[in-house]
């Protein structure tokens, strides 16, 4: 590959991938995201026009520090052309400290654990053609052009492809959280809402769709599943029904409500952050905290499970008596309690697969729902709200991405 090509491509990304800190304090979704992402698009168009970046050999299964050889040389060339490895790095085919830092930088930009070694997921991201990345940046720009979200002084962002949650105040991210969002067959929806309360030790009323898809099949295999899961069947006037009286073998449409008792084993964990919306989704805790260790976190039925959700709850309740220690003490009582926010906090559930932050890092995430298409972009954009014909002053929600009701 020509030296001029390398220098020109690196120069195209120099302003975008400088020596700034790897994690920006600017949110992934904010008023400046469009302009910065446009810069990234132009830089990547330059790379595409010069032939793209080379692939790391697909025969590679693992690259790690102190390794040497042609595969490492190919890795260095790939990192150089994306701006992750500085142009003044020492030439050669040794996996040295500079390569470790460049790999970590690349991994951070792609939502992967920054281990500094190249495994299956990192290799897949590296060998994604620049044309795919261009499509992701273009899709983000199209979504942002049609954006209907009003950025307030304080707001929350749920970026679905990034499986992440950000708490933003005055344009600065105050808290970042890993999240577990909807799996492809039960996708999390794109929407805007307002957080109005924090619920401690919540019960979980299982949506009918989940009763049909999950609870009934479980009961056919294990008649003790309801009891083991601390759930109850409730009929008219909340009268409890004995699961043994239900003919699970023939049941297709439940005639009862399934409710899970509060407690550490509740599917919502011990905190739920409520935001009334037509898709019945919300943020919540989870008893399965080990899932946050995974790079691929698309396991829920639509809602977002949030790592460190108690810290997020305390942030939402700042300025009140409900500090983190106060919340912890109240949760320890094991009793349900709903705490209303004095001022509602807007929340945006967005679908961004490529964007650029204030630190210059160009971020990419997998198009997990396959929405980076012309039709997908339309259905995964927060629509501008139009007033109703009657001047009530109330907003009218726009279209949303279809999703199965509620989640775990």
Domains of the chain: residue spans and CATH:
3-130 (1.10.101.10), 205-260 (no CATH)
Give yes or no for residue 302 having a pLDDT over 80: yes
- Please write the tens of the pLDDT for every residue from 6-16: 444 444 454 34
Mean pLDDT of 93-121: 96
Instruction: Specify the 3-state DSSP secondary structure of 184.
Output: coil
**DSSP code of residue 264:** T
* Diameter over CA atoms, the chain: 77
The predicted pLDDT at position 384 comes to: 57
Q: Which two tokens stand for residue 132?
A: 């795919």
**Residue 217 — very low, low, confident or very high, per pLDDT cuts 50/70/90?**
very high
Among 51-60, 66-75, 247-256, the minimum mean pLDDT is found in 51-60
The answer to whether the CB of 177 falls within 8 A of the CB of 309 is yes
Buried b (16+ CB within 10 A) or exposed e, 29-63: bbeebbebbbebbebbeebbebebbeebeeebeeb
Q: From residue 146, give the alpha-carbon distance in Å to each of 297, 325, 362, 378.
A: 27, 41, 21, 9
pLDDT in the model for residue 382: 81
Cα-Cα-Cα-Cα dihedral sign, residues 144, 43, 36, 88: positive
pLDDT in tens, 157-184: 999 999 999 999 999 999 999 999 999 9
Q: HSE-up of 158 (CA within 13 Å, CB side)?
A: 31
For every residue of 20-70, DSSP letters joined together read --SS-SS-SSSTTHHHHHHHHHHHHHHHHHTT--PPPPTT---B-TT-BSH
Average pLDDT over residues 98-115: 96
Mean pLDDT value across residues 189-194 = 95
Average the pLDDT over 234-251 and give the result.
94
The pTM of the full predicted model, rounded to 2 decimals, is: 0.85
- What are the residues whose beta carbons fall under 8 Å from the beta carbon of 178, sequence distance 6 or more? 163, 164, 165, 292, 297, 306, 307
**What per-residue confidence (pLDDT) applies to 399?**
35
295 in helix, strand or coil?
coil
Note the helical H segments in 82-150: 97-109, 120-126, 130-145
Whether 19 has a pLDDT exceeding 60, the answer reads: no
Question: Given a cut of 60, is residue 360 above it in pLDDT?
Answer: yes
The packing angle between helices 33-49 and 130-145, to 10°, is 150
């Amino acid at each position: 590959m020509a030296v001029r090509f390398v220098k020109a491509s690196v120069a195209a990304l120099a302003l975008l991938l400088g020596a700034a800190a790897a994690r920006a304090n600017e949110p992934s979704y904010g008023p400046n995201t469009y302009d910065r992402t446009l810069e990234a698009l132009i830089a990547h168009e330059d790379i595409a026009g010069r032939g793209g970046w080379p692939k790391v050999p697909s025969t590679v299964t693992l690259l790690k520090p102190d390794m040497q050889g042609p595969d490492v040389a190919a890795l260095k060339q790939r990192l150089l052309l994306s701006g992750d490895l500085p142009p003044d790095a020492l030439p050669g085919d040794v996996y040295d400290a500079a390569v470790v830092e460049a790999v970590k930088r690349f991994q951070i930009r792609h939502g992967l654990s920054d281990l500094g070694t190249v495994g299956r997921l990192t290799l897949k991201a590296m060998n994604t053609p620049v044309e795919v990345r261009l499509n992701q940046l273009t899709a983000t720009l199209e979504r942002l052009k049609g954006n209907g979200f009003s950025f307030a002084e304080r707001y929350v962002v749920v970026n679905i492809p990034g499986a992440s949650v950000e708490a933003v105040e005055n344009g600065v991210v105050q808290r970042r959280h890993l999240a577990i969002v909807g799996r492809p067959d039960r996708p999390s929806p794109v929407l805007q809402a307002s957080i109005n309360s924090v619920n401690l030790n919540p019960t979980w009323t299982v949506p009918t769709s989940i009763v049909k898809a999950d609870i009934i099949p479980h009961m056919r295999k294990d008649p003790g599943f309801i009891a083991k899961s601390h759930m109850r069947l409730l009929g008219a006037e909340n009268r409890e029904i004995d699961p043994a009286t239900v003919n699970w073998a023939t049941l297709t449409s439940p005639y009862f409500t399934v409710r899970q008792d509060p407690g550490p084993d509740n599917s919502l964990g011990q905190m739920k952050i409520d935001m009334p919306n037509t898709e019945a989704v919300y943020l919540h805790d989870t008893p399965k905290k080990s899932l946050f260790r995974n790079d691929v976190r698309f396991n829920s039925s639509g809602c977002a499970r949030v790592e460190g959700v108690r810290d997020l709850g305390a942030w939402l309740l700042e300025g009140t008596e409900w500090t983190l220690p106060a919340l912890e003490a109240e949760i320890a009582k094991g009793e349900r309690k709903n705490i209303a926010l004095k001022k509602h906090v807007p929340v945006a559930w967005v679908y961004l697969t490529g964007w650029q932050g204030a630190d210059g890092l160009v971020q990419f995430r997998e198009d997990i729902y396959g929405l980076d298409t012309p039709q997908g972009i339309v259905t995964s954009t927060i629509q501008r709200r139009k007033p109703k014909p009657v001047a009530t002053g109330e907003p009218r929600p726009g279209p949303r991405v279809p999703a199965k009701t509620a989640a775990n």
